Each structure stands twice: as structure tokens, then as C-alpha cells.
């Protein structure tokens, strides 16, 4: 493991973007240190101001500081994206393990359901869920998470299929280990590198999904900002006040870019095919 980490860090690209991601995380955890204004305070005399030294990213239609809203929105977006992928990986892994390990009817049912979810337009699915349960932070996390469950289920199932046939799983069976133990100890342990890679790449797309939902007007209740919500709010003013859309979009792009580069780096090292 130690060797893998060293190998990963030897690539300067990985190091740079890991640092960027780390800094972003710091900002997300301690937003108060980096902002002059609260993200909520309105100033009716500073409506839609262009970016300036006073307001680095400009102001929105209520005179709120976009930079502050980006910083606080970043926090919310990180929580949403991370939790939803955590949720998806948890449910998806269990489903994938069951489908892959037991096979037969389990496999058939779970995979057909996954196909169904794959074929369902994902934004509409999320839209339905949020409409059904209300747009709270938790529901947004679930709505985005549900979209990613089949991806994890499929990946885990595929990997489980091959691990199931390995000698040591057969050995575990012979010595009388229970199925649950085999699934959650032996197989899961061997899935770790697959899971890490899948987690990283899908985490990046979760940010994009949150942003798309925000664009369609589905976000956490106001006045709380999220990066997606900010973008959505700004699209009405695209031609008169582009900064409302462009800056939060830029922040999203940076996060996703970092995650993608790290995902690539991880895959190069962890994926057995690349050894």
C-alpha cells in the first residue's frame, strides 16, 4: 500500500491536483476564514455589480456577494456530492455483491432493475424524487445517489463474478465460512481498488449532476447556496450579468477536473490491466 501511495505521488500532475483538492476541501470546511461577507446579507444598493476588488466574483440580483456564496455553496456541494456517492456505493455494492455472488434469480432480478434505472432519464428520475419528497438537503442527496446506484451495482457484480471463481473463495467455502462472511470479508476486500476508482470518477460526475439539477431549479431551499443552485440562478441573467453563472461553473469545473485527474492516476496504479 505504501508503495502504491508513493508511486501515485511521484507523478507531478497527481501531486498538483491533490494539493488543489486539499485546498478546496480546506475552504469548504472553514468558509468563514475566506470570506468578507456572509452569503446571505442583501444589499439593495449593490445589485448585479460587476466583479471588482470589493466583490471578487461580483454580486447577484439581491446584492449578495457571489464569492461568499461560492465558498459556502462549495461546502454544500461537497457534502451533497460526497454523501450521494457514499449512499450509492453502499447500496450499489450490496446489490452487486448479492447479484454476483448468488447469481441465478438474484442476478437476473437485480440486473434487470438496474437496466431499468439505466434506461430512465436520470435527471427526470432525480426531479421526480425531489418533487415527491421535497427539496431538502437529504432528499437531494438521495435523488442524486439513486442515479448512481446501478453503476456501482454493475461494476461490483462484474468484479465479484471473477473473484467468486478464485481459489481462495472456494477454499473459504470448503472450510465452512458463511456466505455473508465470504461476501463481506473476502470478496469485498478484493474489490477495494475497483471501488476506489469507481468512487473517484463518479464523485466527479456527481458534482455535474448536482449542477444540472441546480440549472433546472432543483436545489436546497433558499437562501442556502450550492454551486449548482448558483449557476441555475444566474442563467436568467446570462447576457446581462454573466459572472453569476460563470464563476460557480468555473469552481465546479476545477473540482471535477481535479477528481478526474486523480481518478486517472489511481486507475493507472490500481487497475491490474495497467501493470
Q: Which is nearer to other proteins, 158 or 264 (CB)?
A: 264
Distance (Å, whole) CA 101 – CA 156: 10
Nearest to 58 by CA among 234, 256, 255: 234
| Contact between 216 and other proteins per CB under 8 A | yes
| Contact between 115 and other proteins per CB under 8 A | yes
Q: Which is nearer to other proteins, 172 or 233 (CB)?
A: 233
Q: Is the peptide bond before 35 cis (omega within 30 degrees of 0)?
A: no
| Contact between 272 and other proteins per CB under 8 A | no
Rounded (10°) CA dihedral 134, 140, 145, 146: 20
Cα→Cα distances 96→100, 205, 236, Å = 6, 20, 42
| Site pattern 80..109 for other proteins (x: CB under 8 A) | ------------------------------
Count residues near other proteins (CB under 8 A).
Answer: 60
Distance (Å, whole) CA 7 – CA 274: 13
Q: Which three cell numbers stand for residue 183?
A: 461476501
- Of the candidate spans 24-32, 95-103, 137-145, 221-229, the one that interacts with other proteins by CB under 8 A turns out to be 221-229
Distance (Å, whole) CA 242 – CA 171: 62
Distance (Å, whole) CA 184 – CA 149: 18
- Of the candidate spans 66-74, 76-84, 119-127, 190-198, the one that interacts with other proteins by CB under 8 A turns out to be 119-127
| Contact between 161 and other proteins per CB under 8 A | no
SS3 65: strand
Nearest to 21 by CA among 67, 57, 65, 74: 74
Selected from 156, 256, 266, 269, the binder of other proteins by CB under 8 A is: 256
- 146 touches 125 (CB < 8 A): yes
Selected from 4, 41, 178, 185, the binder of other proteins by CB under 8 A is: 41
Q: Which is nearer to other proteins, 3 or 275 (CB)?
A: 275
| Contact between 40 and other proteins per CB under 8 A | yes
Selected from 151, 156, 261, 266, the binder of other proteins by CB under 8 A is: 261
DSSP 117: H
> For residues 167-206, which are near other proteins according to CB under 8 A?
204
Selected from 24, 137, 246, 270, the binder of other proteins by CB under 8 A is: 246
Q: Which three cell numbers stand for residue 24?
A: 478546496
| Contact between 121 and other proteins per CB under 8 A | yes
Distance (Å, whole) CA 122 – CA 267: 26
User: Footprint of other proteins on this chain (CB under 8 A)?
Assistant: 40-42, 44, 47-48, 61-63, 112-113, 115-116, 118-121, 123-125, 127-132, 134-135, 204, 208, 211-212, 215-217, 221-223, 231, 235-242, 245-246, 249-250, 252-254, 256-257, 259-261, 264
Amino acid at each position: 500500500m505504501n508503495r502504491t501511495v508513493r508511486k501515485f505521488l511521484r507523478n507531478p500532475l497527481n501531486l498538483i491536483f491533490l494539493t488543489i483538492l486539499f485546498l478546496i476541501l480546506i475552504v469548504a470546511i472553514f468558509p468563514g476564514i475566506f470570506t468578507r461577507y456572509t452569503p446571505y446579507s442583501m444589499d439593495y444598493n449593490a445589485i448585479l455589480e460587476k466583479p471588482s476588488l470589493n466583490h471578487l466574483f461580483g454580486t447577484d440580483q439581491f446584492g449578495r456577494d457571489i464569492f461568499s456564496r461560492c465558498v459556502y455553496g462549495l461546502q454544500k456541494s461537497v457534502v451533497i456530492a460526497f454523501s450521494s456517492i457514499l449512499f450509492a456505493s453502499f447500496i450499489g455494492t450490496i446489490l452487486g455483491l448479492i447479484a454476483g455472488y448468488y447469481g441465478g434469480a438474484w442476478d437476473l432480478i437485480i440486473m434487470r432493475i438496474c437496466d431499468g434505472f439505466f434506461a430512465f432519464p436520470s435527471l427526470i428520475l432525480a426531479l421526480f424524487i425531489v418533487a415527491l419528497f421535497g427539496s431538502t438537503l437529504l432528499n437531494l442527496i438521495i435523488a442524486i445517489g439513486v442515479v448512481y446506484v446501478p453503476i456501482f451495482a454493475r461494476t461490483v457484480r462484474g468484479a465479484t463474478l471473477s473473484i467468486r471463481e478464485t481459489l481462495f473463495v472456494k477454499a473459504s467455502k470448503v472450510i465452512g465460512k458463511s456466505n455473508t462472511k465470504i461476501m463481506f470479508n473476502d470478496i469485498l476486500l478484493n474489490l477495494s481498488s475497483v471501488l476506489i476508482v469507481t468512487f473517484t470518477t463518479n464523485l466527479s460526475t456527481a458534482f455535474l449532476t448536482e449542477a444540472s439539477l441546480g440549472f433546472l431549479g432543483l436545489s436546497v431551499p433558499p437562501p442556502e447556496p450550492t454551486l449548482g443552485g448558483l449557476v441555475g440562478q444566474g442563467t436568467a441573467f446570462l447576457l446581462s450579468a454573466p459572472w453569476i453563472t460563470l464563476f460557480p461553473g468555473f469552481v465546479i469545473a476545477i473540482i471535477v477536473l481535479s477528481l478526474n485527474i486523480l481518478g486517472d492516476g489511481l486507475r493507472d496504479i490500481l487497475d491490474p490491466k495497467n501493470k
